């Protein structure tokens, strides 16, 4: 992996840590950290992940720790676009994000929808009343 140089940049230091640890079985984390210019905590963490999960657990980059649920599903997005393409509320010339979010809550599409998911949905959908 290291000789070919085709490994991802984040995986190479972890592979080097494991090689150094294998070459000097009694080697301290401080010596490995100094030789590779990484933190001692990084060396300890890579070694612990090696013990727990082997090569696949120690070298490749981990994915995201949590995946948040989508605020608006397909039906909610359709309601949002229909609302945005409709007439704006009384006293306003056009829709803004806060009234759209409040309109979704009133329509019981979701609870406590913030303006950011509304903006992201409208940007993704390229919705316009024209």
The whole-number mean pLDDT for each consecutive block of 10 residues of the chain, a chain of 130 residues, reads 71 85 79 89 88 80 69 85 89 90 84 84 70
pTM: 0.48
In this structure, is the dihedral angle defined by the CA atoms of residues 80, 81, 84 and 89, taken in order, positive or negative?
Answer: negative
Q: Which pLDDT belongs to residue 74?
A: 84
CB count in 10 Å sphere of residue 48: 12
CB count in 10 Å sphere of residue 32: 24
Q: Which pLDDT belongs to residue 27?
A: 67
CB count in 10 Å sphere of residue 55: 13
């Amino acid at each position: 992996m290291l000789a070919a140089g085709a490994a991802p940049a984040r995986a190479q230091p972890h592979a080097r840590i494991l090689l150094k640890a294998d070459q000097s079985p009694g080697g301290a984390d401080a010596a490995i950290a100094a030789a590779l210019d990484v933190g001692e905590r990084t060396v300890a963490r890579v070694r612990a992940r090696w013990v727990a999960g082997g090569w696949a657990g120690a070298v490749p980059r981990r994915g995201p720790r949590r995946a948040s649920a989508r605020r608006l599903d397909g039906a909610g997005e359709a309601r949002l676009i229909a609302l945005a393409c409709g007439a704006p509320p009384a006293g306003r010339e056009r829709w803004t994000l806060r009234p759209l979010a409040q309109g979704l809550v009133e329509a019981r599409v979701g609870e406590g929808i913030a303006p950011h998911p509304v903006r992201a949905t409208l940007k993704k959908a390229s919705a316009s009343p024209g």
